[in-house]
Amino acid sequence: MKRCARKHALAVIGMLLAVAVGGPSAFAQDQGEPPRETINIGLSTEVVAITPDFSGADLTIFGSLENPDPQILRQGRYDIIVVLEGPLRPVVVRRKDRIFGLWINVDSETFSSVPVSYSVAMTRAPQDITDAKSYKQLSLGIDNIHLRPAGENADPSKTEEFGLALRSLKQRSGLYNERVGSLTFIGSNLFRASLALPANVPVGTHRARAFLFRNGSFIDEASDQLMIVKSGTEASIYRAANTYGFFYGVFAVILAVITGWIGRIVFKRD
């Protein structure tokens, strides 16, 4: 009896040591639980060069779903949302009113860190993937981008009003866009997403993020980076403007004066 009790105690101690060393996953494997699903992504290119005649393009992102449940996969209950976020920059939103026949800026709100661009690809319509609470918790989707005002004592109602205006302006310019159904599975666990890069896409480091949902519940996330740079003559002008700002400004003024003078001579009327 004592020998059995000793063996049982040693077995319990061994199991505790295994859990302590291997963590909860080791215990889960002993119980025969399947491994958790994970997601991986890769970009079709790591650098996009913007030329003077760039009019927009589609970016393809490939990915894989690891350890999927075959039954849930057959039922089509896995959903993926891929987001490409542009660089974060401060943005000032102004409101104009008509005063004495003139449109004048009467109020403004400054947001400290706003994605300059935001493109989304998803398997289905947003309401068919998960609920509004999950989108808000993940800051996922155009309507859920976290807009933080620069001031400490910002008025919540004013922040909401100017935030809606900012999102509307970004969508009209094409910098914020969503594509429903542009993410498709191309195999049992492989998928492909097509994201829109507008003609006015900003240069800098963009972050691609993929969100995996199972039966409406968020499971895993993966990310990667994309560099968008200018090329050709436009790139040289852009670098000169940023590196030698003062001399670039002087040169621009001189060029404008010379162009105006030449135009006056050419189009001068007798």
**CATH code of the domain covering residue 69:** 2.60.40.2550
- Higher per-residue pLDDT: 253 or 240: 253
Q: Are residues 234 and 139 in the same domain?
A: yes
pLDDT band at 120 (very low <50, low <70, confident <90, very high): very high
Residues 19 and 149 reside in one and the same domain: no
How much is the average pLDDT of 241-253?
70
Region 189-202 average pLDDT: 92
- Cα torsion angle, 231, 237, 239, 241, sign: negative
CA distance 101 to 112: 33
Q: How many CA atoms lie within 13 A of 126 on its CB side?
A: 16
Give the model's pLDDT for residue 22. 44
- The pLDDT tens digits for 10-42 are 343 343 334 334 444 444 444 556 678 999 999
Radius of gyration of the chain from Cα atoms? 27
What span, in angstroms and rounded, lies between the C-alpha atoms of 239 and 51? 14
Q: For residue 223, is it within any domain? A: yes
Average pLDDT over residues 47-65: 89
Same domain for 184 and 95? yes
In a domain, 226, yes or no: yes
Q: How many domains does the chain have?
A: 2
Residue 4, C-beta contacts closer than 8 angstroms, at least 6 positions apart: none
* Cβ density class 166-181: b for 16+ within 10 Å, e for less: bbeebeeebbbbbbee
Q: Which domain holds residue 238?
A: 34-258
Reported pTM: 0.73
Q: Are residues 120 and 19 in the same domain?
A: no
Residue 137 belongs to some domain of the structure: yes
Task: Give me the pLDDT at residue 156, please.
Answer: 85
pLDDT tens figures, 73-99: 888 899 999 999 999 999 999 887 777
Give a yes or no: residue 14 inside a domain: yes
In tens, the pLDDT along 123-178 reads 999 999 999 999 999 999 999 999 988 877 778 888 899 999 999 999 999 999 99
Q: Are 152 and 235 members of one domain?
A: yes
